[in-house]
Structure 1
């Protein structure tokens, strides 16, 4: 994978920020020596130092933060939304001309432009499987983001999974589906394992088989490109065990519950963006 240009500064070295940086370094998107990580606490700095990734690690203060932003071509801001104004103020005047990438859910591009006093802002929605290299991320660009800058964002997110550029109006739906979706699947894995235990399997084996079943089914969808309904029908033979189980799922509303979960989470994302 081609490397991105210039230096990169990560503001907020939590789990998602670390997933992005580790993924980039692992995929060869950037050399570790061109990355600076700004952390709020000494403890967080210590965690990064002990990781031996080879990045520059600094504890946040206004002078250090501003210098790190000024030296970078790309800045990923991975802090809580309520912290954005103080982060922006600490490096006031340094944001213009840099690509500023926000990973905060619900914070709109117009708000980001105002907070950072920059038009080159990008809003991204990664998800937690990015931590293990199987993320599903979407991004939307501000009005002054160049084609080259958009390509940089795509390279960063592709290092931890699949990525798509979308209109900002679609990001709430992305949040409801892939952003919140891992939690839905964790619940399904837990329920499948509980079902296995109820049917007589040991807990550890039930959980292992439940997780592997979900993983295998997902791989079949992505690798074959077939519609999930076709793959489902191929498993369900007439009068067999699978069709009996599918009938039970329909009777108990699994399909409608999943649809409503995505719609409800997307609506909540819109509410957060409007507050």
Structure 2
């Protein structure tokens, strides 16, 4: 078996990424080794056709992976990374999806300055509709970087940033952003019920409206402001509602405050 990629951690995000890679044909299952201490999670990965081991000690001595993906929680990333120090000779690139964990922290845990990429995904990656943002240290070669970006594209859209400090803003917008949208769906559902609609109908209208509007915004090629204007007739029902949401920039100010609160918290957690 030629191990090209080691996936350390196969929880919800790790498994979603792995399944996306395999389903999209980005990787051959025989080239992936999954390291996962939880028996149930490891067996789930093995059911996809990948080899699994319980810990890093089980990795074959002759393994020389191109990539090691660290898909574990920030609380344990240091200890987990240290178990993979033996590959930090410059030939293996490390990709971390641990939120709030800086490249400097990973370099320190791994020893020296191996090629390291930091990725912030979000939960829609589990269905191939995610947003992944990547920062790389200077040691990452261009060919490897493109290979990783191609892998990540199986889980959704991918963007890169040149300044790691922007990762806190990324976390606040796309990392935490799905929760904002879920809450908007909750709020729109509650408003629909208050207006007299039955619960299930209210849920359907709220969810499908958000889904349809987001899909249209993504596919139409028009700016969101133009699409908004197309829905809004002068002195009509939509204009009346937008007068509440847009008056005094109410919604914009609220969302801006929310994103800033998340960004500042991301900075605190990363210290």
Q: Number of matched residues?
A: 266
> What are the superposed Cα offsets for residues 86-107 of structure 1, whole Å, 9 maximum, x if unpaired?
2233233223321100001111
What is residue 64 of structure 1 aligned with on the other side? Answer: 58
Q: Identify the match of residue 24 of structure 1 among 21, 26, 45.
A: 21
Q: Aligned pair in 2 of structure 1 residues 113, 164: CA closer, same or farther (>3 Å)? A: same
Q: Is the contact between residue 193 and residue 207 of structure 1 (CA under 8 Å) also seen in structure 2?
A: yes
Q: State yes or no: 1:129 paired with 2:124.
A: yes
Q: State yes or no: 1:205 paired with 2:201.
A: yes
What is residue 230 of structure 1 aligned with on the other side? Answer: 226
> What are the superposed Cα offsets for residues 46-67 of structure 1, whole Å, 9 maximum, x if unpaired?
3334xx311112212x4215x3
What is residue 97 of structure 2 aligned with on the other side? Answer: 103
Q: State yes or no: 1:193 paired with 2:189.
A: yes
Q: Is the contact between residue 3 and residue 33 of structure 2 (CA under 8 Å) also seen in structure 1?
A: no
Deviation at 1:202, TM superposition (A): 1.7
Q: Identify the match of residue 39 of structure 1 among 14, 36, 42.
A: 36
**Which portions of structure 1, spanning 4 or more consecutive aligned residues, are displaced by more than 6 angstroms?**
none
Q: Is the contact between residue 36 and residue 42 of structure 2 (CA under 8 Å) also seen in structure 1?
A: yes
**CA separation in 1, counterparts of 2:3 and 2:146?**
14
What is residue 261 of structure 1 aligned with on the other side? Answer: 258
What is residue 162 of structure 1 aligned with on the other side? Answer: 157
Deviation at 1:119, TM superposition (A): 2.3
Deviation at 1:9, TM superposition (A): 0.9
Q: Is the contact between residue 69 and residue 94 of structure 1 (CA under 8 Å) also seen in structure 2?
A: no
Structure 2: gaps of 5 or more residues: none
TM-score, normalised via structure 1 length: 0.91
Q: Is the contact between residue 103 and residue 126 of structure 1 (CA under 8 Å) also seen in structure 2?
A: yes
SS in 2 for 1:93: helix
Q: Aligned pair in 2 of structure 1 residues 238, 100: CA closer, same or farther (>3 Å)? A: same
SS in 2 for 1:25: helix
Q: Kindly report the root-mean-square deviation, in angstroms, between the aligned alpha carbons of the 2 structures.
A: 1.9
**CA separation in 1, counterparts of 2:101 and 2:116?**
11
Structure 1: gaps of 5 or more residues: none
**CA separation in 2, counterparts of 1:84 and 1:69?**
24
Q: Is the contact between residue 32 and residue 54 of structure 1 (CA under 8 Å) also seen in structure 2?
A: yes
The 5 Å alignment of 1:109-148 reads: 109-117=103-111, 118-148=113-143
TM-score, normalised via structure 2 length: 0.92
Deviation at 1:71, TM superposition (A): 3.6
Q: Aligned pair in 2 of structure 1 residues 70, 84: CA closer, same or farther (>3 Å)? A: farther
Q: State yes or no: 1:240 paired with 2:236.
A: yes
**CA separation in 2, counterparts of 1:188 and 1:208?**
13
**CA separation in 1, counterparts of 2:61 and 2:173?**
34
